[in-house]
Amino acid sequence: MSNARTTRRLAVLTIAGLLASGLSALGVTAVPAVAADRTVALVGDLQSELGCSADWAPDCAATELAPTGAEGIYSAVFDVPAGTYEYKVALNGGWDEAYGLDGGGDNIPLTIDGPVSLRFTFDDDLKRIGVEVAEPSTGYSASDDALIAKPVRQAGSDEQFYFVMTDRFTNGDTSNDEGGLSGDRMVTGFDPSDKGFYQGGDLAGLRDRLDYIQGLGTSAIWLTPSFANKPVQGVGADASAGYHGYWVTDFTRIDPHLGTNAELENLIADAHDRGIKVYFDIITNHTADVIDYSEKQYSYIDQATRPYTDASGDAFDPSDLAGTSAFPALDPATSFPYTPVIAEADKDAKTPAWLNDPTLYHNRGNSTWTGESVTYGDFDGLDDLMTEDPAVVDGFVKVYQDWVDLGIDGFRIDTVKHVNFEFWKTWSTRVLDYAHDKGKKDFFMFGEVYDADPVKLAPYIRDTDMNSVLDFTFQSSAVSYASGNSAKGLQTLFAGDDRYTTPDSSASALPTFLGNHDMGRVGSFLQNTDAPLERVELANELMFLTRGQPVVYYGDEQGFAGSGGDKDARQTLFATQVDEYADQKLITGEQAGSVDRYATDAPIYRQIAALSQLRRENPALLDGAQIERYAASGAGVYAFSRVAAADKIEYLVAVNNATTAQTVELTTLTADASYAVLHGDAAPISTDAGAATSSPSPPCRPWCGRRMPRSPRPPSRRRSPSLSPPPEPASPASPPYRPRSPISGRRPASRGAWSAPTPGTRSAPPRTPPRVSTTTSAG
């Protein structure tokens, strides 16, 4: 087989590889070739267009890249005609060493609509290839309009989520605390003095506190799984209750500890009256732990050791049949590596009834979280469904179509990477189509793929009908930056956004978050830093001012920090009876205590509400394009512009995580303009005719500004960059400055954002983007 491997990819002009590799093509200058031991040739089905006698010819000198003089860097410019191609590089005139997409063996797709000069650059150390337009056209003309596509903004992708664990929010109905069961906590699951058991929160409590949730600017409530759960699992010190919702026995009704289906409908109706949607957290990977193994062993057994066999004894691999309508009949006594057994009392424990069939589960033992066990293994004893079987696919399609009918507005999908990919391709299409057919055109589904690598996250958006995925990459990068690490981490984060771009999707739809019920709260990550409150505020501002749909985890707005993940991140907002929760410190330094925590004047609550209002009043901050302006090499400033295509107003945002004020020079989209302060401790700034400016940024604070309308100025007139540190406000209410709030004698770091409208006479950014110098204060 030829080394010219093909892959199924979206055909686009790929320049992201250059950025991802760390190469700067603009900084690579062709120099006369020098003697080298290695040669690098551009190979692919474009070679015959570039002077070679054949395609995929590694020995063709016509497409060799020349050494640039920089060690290990090779580059050349070729005039490429319109067409769709695939390419890679081959070294030393043969196929023994060749590199393609991301430095691997896959070919790189390239589609261009017209003839163009392209520079191809190869880094022999990183094994990455970059491509850029070598000679961009000069100036902008009306004919260029045809090349500009409307930005992709998915229906239902402009929410601000409030992620709430229902059992931990408000106890609105004490009569359901024990879920209609009688007995001690090992029967009912209710023990408000133990963080591992039901505390009493319910749907009635959520309904009672909608004012509080709405006050944050919330547009969608995301509920942890609310289905009926097995009340208690485990014994002794390992016993815990299903308060979190992930041990489902009945997928058709609400857990009686939380309320009823009718109460859910009432909550949805009240929320909808306020313009708030209700999202369900759903599960397809597993059920509660009901199935045991007769062998009383639970270690994972791989398929190489013991393959599956059908009822006739013939071996097969479920992955070979996934996504098809064919699946063999299985025998519970002989088909599995472990023999599944169900206690007589639990024969009908699950609903719908098909879930009680033990042959619809993998029955291989506990996952090791590697290899095939990621999708075939039990999730710490939970019964792992055979999602390759079309019976399971069909069953869950029906389950979740019924919840669409009840009125749910969208789904957050649990444990996505632990389910085979073919399941999602079928299930997501059928459920989304059903919701659309029912008139829910903005029904939105996003998956939990617990990974911070966009290479692993993006396929669930690109290759299924899942609308988006939780942005774990943002979470890790934003918290890292807020804690004081390099701004280059944010640069890497946003450089990966192109992976989510298709004709139907973009990174703007990614739900962004800072912590959750599994990993822990953002406060727990930042509570041991030099300025915990300010750094949490900085993280929030990153989440609200950058692309994506911000997710506020319940209790973060009250300053809860906790001591870690899982149970340690699941405090009650109502007065706790758990001593450990009461003894914890809030991010402000105050002891949590055993008191209700619904104060709308809490520092983080007020901050989130203000950021939400800022986004609503300036839509470019909600779904506008995001263009990077500056990223410090180390702690310091990260700056970017946000621009909405409709109003052509540029918003400039600069954040600073350093402990000292920083001044940087950067380039904006808008020349010869003034920017008014919208948010943060900063002064107005202006750009010169080349769009250069200087902006002060105080420590650990953002600065956000909006470009002000102005009369056109002669192109030759330049304005000197000028920015000085912001003066102290005359009074706490003096606009445009936000009052400073020292914590423990520390001056908060400053962040900022400005905005300015792009000139009405220009339909596109200038050829030479404006430069701006910005100073932000520290954190």
Residue 482: left if φ>0, alpha if ψ -120 to 50, beta else—which one?
A: alpha
Give the pLDDT of residue 678. 93
Contact at 8 Å (CB) between 443 and 432?
yes
pLDDT at 388 over 80: yes
Give the pLDDT of residue 144. 75
Catalytic residue selected from 255, 448, 650, 681 = 448
pLDDT band at 550 (very low <50, low <70, confident <90, very high): very high
Q: How far apart are CA 80 and CA 97, in angstroms?
A: 25
Q: Hey, how many other C-beta atoms are within 10 angstroms of the C-beta on 736?
A: 17
Q: Is the peptide bond before 732 cis (omega within 30 degrees of 0)?
A: no
What residues contact residue 344 under an 8 Å CB cut-off, 6+ apart?
Answer: none
pLDDT band at 149 (very low <50, low <70, confident <90, very high): confident
Give the pLDDT of residue 137. 63
Reply yes or no on whether 414 is catalytic.
yes
Q: How far apart are CA 143 and CA 161, in angstroms?
A: 41
What's phi and psi for 158, nearest 5 deg? -120, 40
Query: What proportion of the chain, given as a percentage, has pLDDT over 90?
Result: 76
What's phi and psi for 476, nearest 5 deg? -70, -40
Beta strands in 200-282, from DSSP E residues, in sequence order: 220-223, 227-229, 232-233, 240-241, 248-254, 277-282
Give the pLDDT of residue 646. 82
Average pLDDT score over the chain: 86
pLDDT at 730 over 90: no
pLDDT at 23 over 80: no
pLDDT at 91 over 80: yes
Contact at 8 Å (CB) between 771 and 667?
yes
> What is the mean predicted confidence (pLDDT) over 563-588?
97
pLDDT at 630 over 80: yes
Q: Are strands 83-91 and 108-112 parallel, antiparallel or unpaired?
A: antiparallel
Give the pLDDT of residue 694. 58
Of the candidates 483, 464, 480, the residue with the CA atom closest to the CA atom of residue 472: 480
* Listed range (396-410, 654-668, 731-745, 763-777) with the worst mean pLDDT: 731-745
Query: What proportion of the chain, given as a percentage, has pLDDT over 70?
Result: 84
Reply yes or no on whether 448 is catalytic.
yes
Give the pLDDT of residue 672. 87
Catalytic residue selected from 178, 414, 471, 497 = 414
pLDDT in tens, 157-211: 999 999 999 999 999 999 999 999 999 999 999 999 999 999 999 999 999 999 9
Q: Given the structure tokens 């010819």, which residue do they identify?
A: 57
Q: Hey, how many other C-beta atoms are within 10 angstroms of the C-beta on 320?
A: 10
Hey, what domains does the chain have and what are their CATH numbers? 16-136 (2.60.40.10), 161-283 (3.20.20.80), 286-386 (no CATH), 388-470 (no CATH), 620-776 (no CATH)
Helices (H), 514-586: 522-526, 532-545, 579-583
pLDDT in tens, 586-621: 999 999 999 999 999 999 999 999 999 999 999 999
pLDDT at 734 over 90: no
Give the pLDDT of residue 693. 60
Give the pLDDT of residue 563. 95
Tokens linked to 191: 């023990």
Q: DSSP character for 391?
A: H
Contact at 8 Å (CB) between 202 and 226?
no
pLDDT band at 147 (very low <50, low <70, confident <90, very high): confident
Give the pLDDT of residue 481. 98
In a 3-state reduction of DSSP, which class is residue 653? Answer: strand
β-strand partners of 233: 240
pLDDT at 753 over 70: no
Q: How far apart are CA 168 and CA 98, in angstroms?
A: 55
> What is the mean predicted confidence (pLDDT) over 296-325?
97
Of the candidates 666, 717, 724, 646, the residue with the CA atom closest to the CA atom of residue 688: 717
Q: Are strands 468-469 and 444-447 parallel, antiparallel or unpaired?
A: parallel
pLDDT at 80 over 90: yes
